[in-house]
Chain A
């Protein structure tokens, strides 16, 4: 809680105590924390003096805001038109199954988070998945496991477990 307060202190400066600042503030917090936590949103609500429900209502209105933290390796599955036609949905489902989380979710160890995104501009390589900053072209469901292991080798997982 104290840590959050410190992180927010730089963003919630007295000159921004106005509800017109709400969305820029939320964007900056997401930029800093990677997502909007209930605690952060409540702090913003208190700061700009509007109800918590209103902040939540506004934040959920926009697709740009996320309410779960990003994983160490954020997985983005493209669902733009080209990727969608090339079977992006199957890739997304396979990814969710493999990671055992829902779309917009995060694994319990916070290694991976899974999101669907609109076009990322690699239509020629469709369907694509982006993990960290690498683009994985021409994805298929069987390739999902392989890609995930390449990002975080099983051995590493093993050693971590021990």
Chain B
């Protein structure tokens, strides 16, 4: 019983949300995180000099790293906007990976069905198909949540592995490229690809999709009542009911758009970067999107800004993985630590941790 009494002494007490406290905690968190990331990366690299050279050479040529970062940025930003939108409405979309893969599958199947389509139509239709596939994958779980009470974190999380195995089956079986020795689908037709912008490395026209999407999102956020409705629903579904609006429909709408955006992200990764369907098409964008979305706090500009920072971070890590022998799995550790730092920081901004005096 002594232990039980000791455990009960630890508690979290609400502290005033004073500006200096909020800022100090956030600043301290950011500094600690940056130092931790650099230390982790540096200690796992072959030697410190290779590490520094890798970073400096990576960022020496603007013509190199800007296009490289956009290749990461575009799908990541779309997925993050999607996850953030659903989060705002009170729906945790952890199934980004599944929707990314399904979106890519949707576009790819369309390309298989209509191989003769010309360029602007083919790309537009493929994006629509990707959106629909992703939206269905997410909307299903919102219906299960609202009508059957199934916790969406669990169902969307599990859908990731379900879809991953399903795609593995497809690319290893029905969709497998018979001429390749690798387990992958055949390459995508030229008409469906996002063309590379000449002179800008791997940067491609998919950035147009992101720009259009972001503008639509900004208008949605600033000029429509739907965004207010989403926020209201996330904070208090009863308030939405009081407006004689069905909260379930708000969640359904948000989750459809959320899944659709993730699906588009998947299609952009396929048609803009990799050109074929593989099991590990997404390098974890669906999971990074959760972190980007929560740090972005649901607003479009902050989410985009956070996505830029993450694209830079991922690009830097790719560089030191390639040049300085840092294990690629560091990415996963940093993602996890980032999530933990984020939640603890959120708590400490408004609460303080105390050991209750006797």
* A is bound by B: no
B-side residues, CB < 8 A to A, are none
